[in-house]
Structure 1
Amino acid sequence: MSSPLTSPSGPTWSDGLLSLLVATDTFEGFLHELTVATVAALPEGSMCGLTVVRGERAVTIASSDDLTLAVDQIQYRTGEGPCLDTLSSGQANHITDTSTEPRWRSFCTEAFVHGVRSCLSLPLMGPSGQVGGYNLYNPRPDAFDDDALARMRVFADTAAGAVALSLRMADQSKLNADLRATLASRSVIDQAIGIVMAQQRCSAEDAFALLSRASQNRNLKVHDLAAEIVATVGGRTPGPDTFQPHE
């Protein structure tokens, strides 16, 4: 579907982004559409996540796909990675190939296993300071060339203002239920991952992969499947139609 957001330059991008903010009904919906619009302006195969810091904790509050969320979680679990560094330093970080990048080796090793070769993290700088960061991933090495980097810097500068405005509106009006729901959704997913890890005797990454595969097979959102698993753990063990054991 075409979008006025697919070209991050000039008034078309800026006006389109503000129109999107007005048009979407929820804070979460706006942020998700923002990640989708970002992907549309990136090289083929790219993925996007949006991280903010709430209560001194980095949280992915929107992503273009489930793999992005899984790779973001590697950073949070290992305590290292390009986005975490961007959040602390306010500087962009670019990884041309996770298989050879000497920085953040714990993150890069696991990201490579997940099929991610290129990474680009950009700060979202609002009027009062940094409001978050973009996490951009691609399965090809050196996917983000100088032109893509330059365009994404413009993209991030404009998007940051809209993100800052939406955060401020949510805080001022006390209508941040969407953000709380997003955090609650992540909590449910984390609980389900723990249950699958215990039952299948597998790692957190494998457990999330099982959930993702099962959600696709059953045409359910990952959150809905996770809620189902958490709800059943007190009464019955999730059956074989919920997820497939790790092979």
Structure 2
Amino acid sequence: MDDTSDPRVEDSIPTDVLDGTETEQAAEIVVDAAIRKTISPAALGRMLVDAGRSIADENDLLTLLQQVAAIAHEAIEGADYTGITIDLGGLTYTAVHTDERTLRIDSDQYEVGDGPCLHAARTRSIVLLDSGDAMQRWPAFAAAARTEGVHSFLAAPLYTDDLTLGSFNLYGRAFHAFDSLDAEILDLLTTAVSRAIGDFARFKSAEDTAESIQRVLQTRAPIEQAKGVLMAMRGIDADEAFDVLRVQSQATNVPVRVLAVDFLDKVTGSAGEQN
């Protein structure tokens, strides 16, 4: 499958590129909380949302989802690929991902209309299974996942009392990559961000919530992609990469998104000419 051929995954943004030590420390806190019950989901949520700051808009929500996905990916050893599915208001798409393979697996799932991630969201239950069980329940999806080398699935619903947003999804290459502790860790993380999501969506319908997040994704996706390319090309971090775009935007009076799209077009064109 062409990585950009499915509109349900093409605007997904990569997990937030945090400082390695910062992500590791957050992951250690989450693991310890799941094992020793040292912190409540509410307290963890306040920590993840900058000491309890409310989610004011879609950008804040997506930043939180990026951060939590990065932490889950670090905290759960068997997670080779991680993503977040939005599934509400008649819309289904991937908001956050760690890599292109995540997007291909998600796209295969959306194509058949069912699978571990969608099942977790729609039933508000954790899904933990290997490809053998998945093959019995969702044969078309499981077969496609196997071609990507994925044999284990762990998905946890993301929801409030009034709204089901979607699911956090972890894929593993190994058989039996996830266990009950991993499920507890992921459940703790999803529970921790539920209050923030509830604050954000309190006065929105499911359809409005899904559409507004998707609109912001369409704006942010090229910016995040351009940041990633700049980081790789120049050996800089995410903040420095954004500063490069921001400074150029101010100097040329061209919106950052437009600059990002032009930059990506040039990079893609140059790579094509070299090939």
Q: Give the TM-score, by structure 2 length.
A: 0.60
1:3 to 13, 19, 25: 25
Q: Secondary structure at the match of 1:182?
A: helix
Shift of 1:143: 0.7
State the Cα distance separating 1:146 from its structure 2 match: 2.2
**Where does residue 180 of structure 1 map in the other structure?**
215
2:170 is the alignment partner of 1:136: yes
Equivalence for 1:241: 271
Work out the percentage of aligned pairs sharing the same amino acid. 20
**CA RMSD in angstroms, aligned pairs only:** 4.1
Deviation of the 1:81 alpha carbon: 1.2
How far the C-alpha of 1:183 sits from its partner, in A, is: 4.2
Question: Which position in structure 1 is the counterpart of 2:143?
Answer: 109
Q: CA deviation at 1:241?
A: 1.6
The alpha-carbon deviation at position 95 of structure 1 amounts to 2.2
Partner of 1:72: 106
- Please state whether the residue corresponding to 2:143 is helix, strand or coil: helix
- Say whether the 8 Å CA contact 1:99–1:112 is kept in structure 2: no
Which of 188, 208, 211 is residue 154 of structure 1 equivalent to? 188
* Secondary structure at the counterpart of residue 131 of structure 1: strand
Runs of 5+ unmatched residues, structure 2: 1-20, 239-256
Q: 1:18 aligns with which of 28, 36, 46?
A: 46
**Aligned partner letter, 1:155:** L
Could you report, residue by residue, the CA deviation over 1:76-114 in whole angstroms, capped at 9, with x for unpaired residues? 122221112222222322221359731111111111111
Which protein is richer in helix relative to its size? 2
**Alpha-carbon distance in 2 for matches of 1:28, 1:170:** 16
> Is the counterpart of residue 81 in structure 1 residue 81 in structure 2?
no
* Number of residue pairs the alignment of both structures matches: 212
Q: Which moved more, 1:69-78 or 1:9-18?
A: 9-18
Distance 1:244 1:117 in 2: 36
What per-residue deviation string (whole Å, max 9, x for no partner) do you get for residues 104-142 of structure 1?
A: 111111111112110112212313242321111111111
> Where do 1:86-235 residues align within 5 Å?
86-97=120-131, 101-168=135-202, 179-183=214-218, 227=261
- Counterpart CA distance in 1 for 2:118 and 2:177 is 21
Q: 2:78, 2:178 within 8 Å by CA — same for their partners in 1? A: no
Secondary structure of 2:155 counterpart = strand
Paired residue secondary structure (2:63): helix
For 1:47-58, what aligned pairs fall within 5 Å after superposition?
Answer: 47-58=81-92
Q: Which moved more, 1:63-72 or 1:14-23?
A: 14-23
Q: For 2:118, give the aligned amino acid.
A: L
Q: For structure 1, list consecutive stretches of 5 or more residues without a partner in the other structure.
A: 189-210, 233-237
User: In structure 1, what is the Cα distance between the partners aligned to 2:96 and 2:215?
Assistant: 13
**In 2, Cα distance between equivalents of 1:131 and 1:30:** 14
Contact kept in structure 2, 1:86 and 1:123, CA below 8 Å: yes
| Alpha-carbon contact 1:120-1:144 (below 8 Å) kept | yes
* TM-score, normalised relative to structure 1: 0.66
Deviation at 1:154, TM superposition (A): 2.9
Give the AA of the match of 1:4: A
Q: Answer whether contact 1:26 1:178 (CA < 8 A) is retained.
A: no
Instruction: Give the Å deviation of 1:17.
Output: 3.3
